[in-house]
Amino acid sequence: MERKKTRLLHLGAMAVGGLSAITVQSMTNTKTDEIQATIAQIKRLEAVGCDIVRVAVPDMTSAQAIDKIKDGISIPLIADIHFDYRLALEALERGVDGLRLNPGNIGDPDQVAAVVRAAKKKSIPIRIGVNAGSLDKHILAKHGGHPTPEALVESALGHVRLLEKLNFYDIKISLKAHNVPLTIASYRLMSSTVDYPLHLGITEAGTVSSGTIKSAVGIGALLAQGIGDTIRVSLTGDPVEEVKVGNQILKALGLKEYGPTIISCPTCGRCNIDLPSLAAEVEKKLATVHKPIQVAVMGCVVNGPGEAREADIGIAGGKGEGLLFRKGEVICKVPENELLPLLLSEIDKLSEEDN
């Protein structure tokens, strides 16, 4: 998988773009000016692997909360601002690490210039974020009345040009839609047009159960093509779930280590042990493990060890018994009822070993 090399930016200590590690973002859904609640939510996001967090800044009390929130958290903080340039200036003053702001929505060129001057002075990147649902009427009209990839890209580039005119280039871009093919096509077009880092996401994807698949397909397809520098999964519900899903997407593509992996076969008419229960128990156990170990739970003795060659530890079911194997090598044969306790104790051993 060859990644497109984009312009390198920094949000606090976190690099975005260049060929730096792809980061996972989320957004709080507390009231930003309820400082303790916002900090508490961000700490929960950090604990599950959130790299960068964004807060809505709809009013001055929210902007004024930024320094206090930053005092309580460890990851870079982005302020999401619409329309009012004073909120951006206040957020910058309070030490925010990034802005999400579409300069075209601020309107007045002097106000845009004031924000850009302040951001530049502090080396704070700005994300241009265009959504399919809120495109300007004149751009929609030009593109047949519907959001198309060309319309999304044109809209985003309009905002980008406003920043470039002011010699500001620390820009990220997002082009979100809840329609996955539209999102994919839009980012592809943008990636072939500019070198700014891209922030990937499917917006309004739905609840955890329905939105996870849409996000995995859309964000995954782009990453697999080498497009994307930072990602945000949008789900209705606890943002902790967004962060977990985002990290699992990166993990699936080998772009991030994120806890242990279970390799388990779908079972078929050849399977002679109760594999689904075994796999479920192993998964429950692995939820408590942080180390990126691989554990295989395979139904058949012929293919099991071979299919799970690189697993740190695994079992392959036989008729009322199973083989324990490490890295594809069979270690011993045990009766079915001893498989689970043996595997669990092996997982304990592995997760306690030093790296």
Per CB under 8 A, which of residues 313..352 are in contact with a copy of itself? none
Token reading at 331: 């270690």
Tell me: does residue 91 bind a copy of itself (CB under 8 A).
no
Residues 19 to 78: which contact a copy of itself by CB under 8 A? 27-32, 55-58, 62
Q: Which residue has the tokens 């690099």?
A: 15
SS (H, E, C) 143-171: CCCCCCHHHHHHHHHHHHHHHHCCCCCCE
Tell me: does residue 104 bind a copy of itself (CB under 8 A).
no
Tell me how many residues contact a copy of itself (CB under 8 A).
Answer: 78
Options 24, 53, 112, 132; binder of a copy of itself; rule CB under 8 A: 132
Options 15, 114, 263, 350; binder of a copy of itself; rule CB under 8 A: 263
Nearer to a copy of itself, 10 or 267 (CB): 267
**Which residue stretch of 12-20, 110-118, 121-129, 291-299 sits at the interface with a copy of itself (rule: CB under 8 A)?**
291-299
Options 242, 256, 301, 317; binder of a copy of itself; rule CB under 8 A: 242
Spatial separation of the C-alpha atoms in residues 181 and 176, rounded to whole Å: 11
Options 102, 155, 191, 267; binder of a copy of itself; rule CB under 8 A: 267
Spatial separation of the C-alpha atoms in residues 184 and 344, rounded to whole Å: 41
Options 94, 127, 159, 178; binder of a copy of itself; rule CB under 8 A: 178
All residues at 6 or more sequence positions from 322 whose CB lies less than 8 Å from its CB, including other chains = 273, 301, 315, 316, 333, 334, 336, 339
Nearer to a copy of itself, 116 or 339 (CB): 339
Helix (H) or strand (E) run with residue 331 in it? strand 329-335
Please write down the long-range contacts of 328-335, taking CB distance under 8 Å and 24 or more positions apart. Answer: 329/305, 330/305
Residue 175 has, within 13 A of its CA and on its CB side, a CA count of 33
Nearer to a copy of itself, 93 or 238 (CB): 238
The 295-314 site mask, x for binding a copy of itself (CB under 8 A), equals: -xxx----x--xxxx-----
All residues at 6 or more sequence positions from 144 whose CB lies less than 8 Å from its CB, including other chains = none
Nearer to a copy of itself, 85 or 168 (CB): 85
Tell me: does residue 280 bind a copy of itself (CB under 8 A).
yes
- Answer yes or no: are the C-beta atoms of 314 and 297 closer than 8 Å: yes
What are φ and ψ of residue 314, in 5° steps?
-165, 165
Residue 79 has, within 13 A of its CA and on its CB side, a CA count of 36
Tell me: does residue 275 bind a copy of itself (CB under 8 A).
yes
Options 14, 48, 216, 343; binder of a copy of itself; rule CB under 8 A: 216
Coil, strand, or helix at residue 272?
coil
- Minimum Å gap between C-beta 337 and a copy of itself is 20
Tell me: does residue 88 bind a copy of itself (CB under 8 A).
no
Coil, strand, or helix at residue 304?
helix
**Which residue stretch of 14-22, 130-138, 155-163, 329-337 sits at the interface with a copy of itself (rule: CB under 8 A)?**
130-138
Nearer to a copy of itself, 114 or 180 (CB): 180
Looking at this protein, which amino acid is placed at residue 157? L
- Answer yes or no: are the C-beta atoms of 197 and 172 closer than 8 Å: yes
All residues at 6 or more sequence positions from 145 whose CB lies less than 8 Å from its CB, including other chains = none
**Which residue stretch of 87-95, 148-156, 189-197, 294-302 sits at the interface with a copy of itself (rule: CB under 8 A)?**
294-302
- Minimum Å gap between C-beta 147 and a copy of itself is 8
Nearer to a copy of itself, 217 or 344 (CB): 217
Options 46, 67, 204, 274; binder of a copy of itself; rule CB under 8 A: 204
